[in-house]
Chain A
Amino acid sequence: MALAPQPTQQGGARAARSPTVPPGDQKRLLIDLLLTGLIASAIFGPIVGMSATAPQGGLVLQYRWGTVFWLVAAVVIGRLLLHLFVWNRPDWVKPIHVKRLGAGLVAIGTLALLLGLFVFDAPWFDAVGIFGLIAGAWFYISSSNETAAERGAPSPLAHAIEPLGKYLGIALLLIAIALPFIPGVDRRIVDLAILMLTYVMLGWGLNIVVGLAGLLDLGYVAFYAVGAYAYALLSTIYFPLWFGDGITPWAFWLVLPLAGLLAACWGLILGFPVLRLRGDYLAIVTLAFGEIIRIILINWYDFTGGPNGISDIPRPSFFGIPFTNDENGFAATFGLAYSPLQRIIFLYYVILVLALITNFVTLRLRKLPIGRAWEALREDEIACRSLGINTTNTKLTAFAIGAMFGGFAGSFFATRQGFVSPESFVFMESAIILAIVVLGGLGSQIGVVVAAIAVIGAFELFRELDFLKAIMPEGFDPTQYRMLAVGIAMVLIMRWRPRGLVTKRDPSIYLKEKKAVSADLVAQGHG
């Protein structure tokens, strides 16, 4: 428990690589600890120490100074331990000891976590497991960084992660294909996987605009909304009106391309005014564009249903065969026992195929002149124009193709939920998608997958943190803290890996040998 809050200190700890306190200087050590305590109190005081509740009518502030005290104490003791044993290590403690300690903690943490999850159902075990895991990983990484630095080699973490990328992609694909049939996988997990794949697809779509073409787009959710509303409106109102009710089972497959086209058109509409904008200005206009779409959806009541949204959106059919429990249904047709899970699994495979199409097209595009022009545009727009590349068209195609995939994903979202409302398309969604792209490493496809799993997984994890409830005071709700945790995680990752998880650029063509390009050389685009 004493180690628990230390991960929040990692940023500071790494910044102070050469410790400010020389060994044996008690006075400066005391001042350092005092400062640490002050900072910790300033952070935990308002966030943890006060909670506003409204039992009856008015707001009442409740104080939890006890908790704050324990947290601050843990931070201070943790820093003291760091000073004594990590930064000003006595001679008998070698980096290898720290490394072993880290490995040991990871092992114990994993064991405790597994025991807590599957054997004892004891939240305390989970808590110890997770904290052990985090602290151990940190010890391990920091000490091996140190040993590597002594040898003058690059960080072993980077070393360890990057060659895995090749196999990681194949492994993830195989797991993804087999997932619904792995024993023990229930509806909840498939639902979560669908959600993750939706974000993977959105991330891949946005990656074209942000990662390849280097155009910062803060309003990507607008295209997601266009796709979702296109399907919702066409399938509930216009298709039955134009073609009669018989079309409904086919609606999803007919609207899907239309939704992509519509979203691509909106991509062009956004693209034109922002052609000359760069950096901050581009970000602001795209942000505004996202909000405009949402506000139109709220206020154009006659067309979009306003804040009420659109409900009863037709669920997808198995190419015309509905997933119903009758003789025309999917189960009866294929001679299976009816189960509501069949529809979920079908949805899962639909989004998997859509996402893979996105990936395939993006990978192909990267090897085509248009993809190379996007990357060249990110590197140097003026040089592009001097080589006869039409930068207007290049930017517009990036916006349009990125938007198109957003539209596909939106269409899928609408059919999965059966209900859309403007609530689903707030700026936060754009921010999450962008966070996934940035976290994954700009321009990297596999990075987006890992980042989407991590971000969405972390979000969902916070719903299930029973163990935190057990160790925290009464009334503690972990879900309220998830944005805080995501924020902290973002800061840490930007501190450690500012270019995202994958920091190598894969060349699109090679003569003799494929060598990855280090991210230090790759431009991040004009905004």
Chain B
Amino acid sequence: MTPRPIDIVLWVVIPYLCLAVFVLGHVWRYRYDKFGWTTRSSQMYERRLLRWGSPLFHFGILAVFFGHVMGLGVPKSWTEAVGMSEALYHFLAVTVGAVAGVCTVVGLAILIYRRRTVGPVFRATTRMDKTMYVFLSAVILLGLWNTVASNIFGHYDYRDGVSVWFRGIFRFDLHPELMTQAPLGFQIHAMLAMLLFALWPFTRLVHVFSAPIGYLWRPYVVYRSRESRIGSRAPQRGWERVGSGDRP
């Protein structure tokens, strides 16, 4: 079956565009807006709701992320090769996925409630934040709905459909028809996720890429030399100071 042009636009062109914006947008943002690259924490304003909402949401979404790495990134043949049966995989995916999903949604609900009702927090919310919240909530809710619905109303094995399509994007092995055949919930979920990726570099979501894992290994106190950046910029080529770099 040859895909229709609309399918190619939806499941090939738009994903590539979105992912290109995602990558280039981050490069651009990092180069030109390092100062704006922050979590923009609002803990100063309110901490009672945040105490519950934020860890629930963040740990939930981390679990959801790793679930997606498993579900989308690992081919079915691999899990079968290590002896994991379809039933076992399914059981794990649904239980762990549901717990993580519920945590995420509850956390998100608390955070959005907090953002709307706590005056100072709402005041510090930008238009970009609001747009991002719409997309993020829609993606998360649809994702949870898909997990539930695909188990109650008939079975859809995304590992033979959506996953193959998703991996194909990165291997240039394009399967738009697999998305056309997927249930509508999965289609919207995937499309909104792609749009969220395009939005990503321009929102506070960039803080995901600053996850400070290096903290576990670096020395406690960082020393930095003033000389490496006299004034406001790095030294120019040819004028490196004696003793720096390749000049003894």
Is B truly associated with A? no
Interface, chain A (partner B; CB < 8 A): none
Binding site for A on B (CB under 8 A): none
